[in-house]
Structure formats: C-alpha cells, structure tokens
Amino acid sequence: MKRSQILKLGIETLGIEAAAVRALQERLDNQFVDAVEAILKIKGRVVVMGMGKSGHIASKIAATLASTGSPAMFVHPAEASHGDFGMITANDVVLALSNSGETEEITKLIPLIKRLGVPLIAITGNLNSTLGKESTLAIDSSVEKEACPLNLAPTASTTAQLAIGDALAVALLDARGFKSEDFAQSHPAGALGRKLLTHVGDIMRKKEQIPQVPLTATMNELLNEMSKKGLGVTAVVDDLGRPCGIFTDGDLRRLIEKGGSLKELLAKDIMQKNPQTIYQKSLAVDVVGMMEKLRINTMLVVDEAHVLIGALNTNDLMRAKVI
C-alpha cells in the first residue's frame, strides 16, 4: 500500500467518525435528559454493561462516571449469567451498550433486570431492537456507516457510544455541582490531585532542617545558620519559639551596601518584623498564591500557638510538583 493511500484512509476514518458524532447532536432528545435524571435519583451505582468492543467502551464509561462523581462499575454480561449479576442491587441503574440491540448476553439479562426493579438505560444503534424496546430509556447511537472499509468492524459505532457516555458524565458532573476539588479526590496521584490535596505539612522542612536563631543571635551566628540550612533565610524566634522576624540574603546585601561594621549587630536589630506565616494544614497550592502575591520565596510554618514548626520555599513546592 502506498503512503498516500495510508494517509487517505486515516483521514477518511476520522471524517466518518467525526460525522457520526456530529449526527448524534441532532438526534439527542429528552431520552438523554430522562437518563441523566434517572441516574441522579438512584442511591446506588451505575452498572455499565457491554460485550466485545462495546464492552471496552462500557468499561471506559464506567471509569469516567466514577471519576466525575457518579459511582459506577463495569459488569461483564457473560459473567453476570454465572454469578456476577449478584453485584447489581435494587438501588442501582443498569446502562447497557449494544449497537445491534440484540446482543444475546445482554438481552437474556433483561428479565432479571426487570425482576430486580432497576431502571435499564440502553445506548443502542437500533431503537427497534429487543434492547431498545425493552429498556426503560433508550438513547440512539446509530451511525450511517462504520469507518471500516468492509463496514463490519465496530469503529464509528463505538466512537458514538463513547461520545454519548462522555455526554452523560459531563451532564451528571454539572448537575451534581462537581468541582475540581472533588475531581482531585478521585485522582490523588495525578497532577491536579497533587496540587489540590498536598498540604504544607506534607512538604515542609521540619525540626533540625528549620533555620532559626534567637533574638540575641550575633551576625556570625545568624549567617552560620543561614549557610547551614541552605534556605537563604533564617527565622528569628523568641524564648517560646515563636517567629518574631526573618532575615534573608537580600537583607544582608542591603546591610553591606550601607557600609559600616556588622559584627556588633544582633538578630533583633536587623530582622524584618512580623514575618508571613502559614499553618501546616493549609493547602500547598494556597501557599503558592500567597508567595506570588507577596513576592517572597520562603514561608514559615507555625502551629496554633504560633510556634515555629516548619519552613518551605519554592524549590520544595516544585519538588512536590505543586508548581
């Protein structure tokens, strides 16, 4: 096959599948709205079913629903006939995918689903099929033709099923008032999860890593502490360990520019008073916003008694992939 022919088939496939999805827009009707409302009413889960390629799509739809606020699970219809039907409860709703609407493994479960008394929502390419007629609600996923040159392999039809599943998930997400914070709870290992679930206490420097000196520290003691801890700053604390001030590399440069002897200076004389602090339970992403607004790169962490318990800088936030 020539390279030009390969490219031509690729472009044609995308065109056919794009046209199939566009056609769904014109046919989407109140059955879709009713399906969303039916799912919102249930106390259990959305049980998604499908065989073959539709089964793979069903599994993905279940995963999308679950990650966007609608508890869902995939049940293989063939396995359902051998015990897995027990996974479905009276509080659930069944979402069944079948392009033909005559998939035997699904149609023979219809009496059991009805006996259980749960809603059956179909996504099918044939509304006049057994599944289309016997379901509580049926969403039309029919396509004019498959992208397969033989018009046999499920291609455009499975794309249509997937698009409808995404449409259901998005509509449900919005109806539930699902927010980015909720999404992060379902994706704790992802980038968004790290940003929205990481707390200051998870990444701050603790104990001996915290640069701190007493109010009476000499310049040599102050500089040694800054050099030893490597943050470019040191907190100045009172007798109870509460931060009264902070001294930075920038402060040192400004003192040198002024001239004069630095040996006789004490920390309390040269510190910046009332340093910015934050609690360890605060979200790390909030610290990023504060530091950007204040144009600082280090933050001191205190407990409820305002005792210094930690410190972090932009490098710590970057290592945690919060920024």
What the block records as the tokens of 146 is: 């498959």
- Render pLDDT for 145-173 as a digit per residue (tens, 0 to 9): 999 888 878 999 999 999 999 999 999 99
pLDDT for the residue numbered 261: 79
pLDDT for the residue numbered 1: 76
pLDDT at 188 over 60: no
Percent of the chain with pLDDT over 70: 94
Handedness of CA 103, 104, 106, 110 (dihedral sign): positive
pLDDT for the residue numbered 190: 55
pLDDT for the residue numbered 299: 94
More confident residue, 80 or 192: 80
* From-to residues of CATH 3.10.580.10 in the chain: 200-319
SS3 annotation, the chain? CCHHHHHHHHHHHHHHHHHHHHHHHHHCCHHHHHHHHHHHHCCCCEEEEECHHHHHHHHHHHHHHHHCCCCEEECCHHHHCCCHHHHCCCCCEEEEEECCCCCHHHHCCHHHHHHHCCCEEEEECCCCCHHHHHCCEEEECCCCCCCCCCCCCCCHHHHHHHHHHHHHHHHHHHHCCCCHHHHHHHCCCCHHHHHHHCEHHHHCECHHHCCEEECCCEHHHHHHHHHHHCCCEEEEECCCCCEEEEEEHHHHHHHHHHCCCCCCCEHHHHCEECCCEEECCCEHHHHHHHHHHHCCCEEEEECCCCCEEEEEEHHHHHHCCCC
Which of 25-39, 48-62, 116-130, 179-193 is the least confident region? 179-193
C-alpha 310 chain-centroid distance: 28
Pairwise CA distance, residues 120 & 110, whole Å: 8
Amino acid at site 52: G
pLDDT for the residue numbered 149: 83
More confident residue, 1 or 21: 21
pLDDT for the residue numbered 318: 87
Which of 76-85, 201-210, 225-234, 254-263 is the least confident region? 254-263
Average pLDDT value over all residues in the chain: 91
Q: What integer is the mean pLDDT of 287-294?
A: 89
More confident residue, 258 or 45: 45
Q: What integer is the mean pLDDT of 141-147?
A: 94
Pairwise CA distance, residues 183 & 303, whole Å: 29
Pairwise CA distance, residues 46 & 119, whole Å: 10
Kindly report whether the global pTM for this prediction surpasses the value 0.75.
Answer: no
Handedness of CA 136, 142, 148, 152 (dihedral sign): positive
Confidence of residue 259 (pLDDT cuts 50, 70, 90): confident
Handedness of CA 75, 80, 84, 85 (dihedral sign): positive
- Render pLDDT for 73-127 as a digit per residue (tens, 0 to 9): 999 999 998 989 999 999 999 999 999 999 999 999 999 999 999 999 999 999 9
* From-to residues of CATH 3.40.50.10490 in the chain: 3-178
Q: Which fold has domain 200-319?
A: CBS-domain (3.10.580)
Q: What integer is the mean pLDDT of 261-278?
A: 90
pLDDT for the residue numbered 260: 74
Residue where the block lists tokens 């409302």: 37
What the block records as the tokens of 305 is: 């008694």
**78 Cβ partners below 8 Å, 6+ apart?**
51, 105
pLDDT for the residue numbered 129: 97
More confident residue, 61 or 318: 61
Q: Which fold has domain 3-178?
A: Rossmann fold (3.40.50)
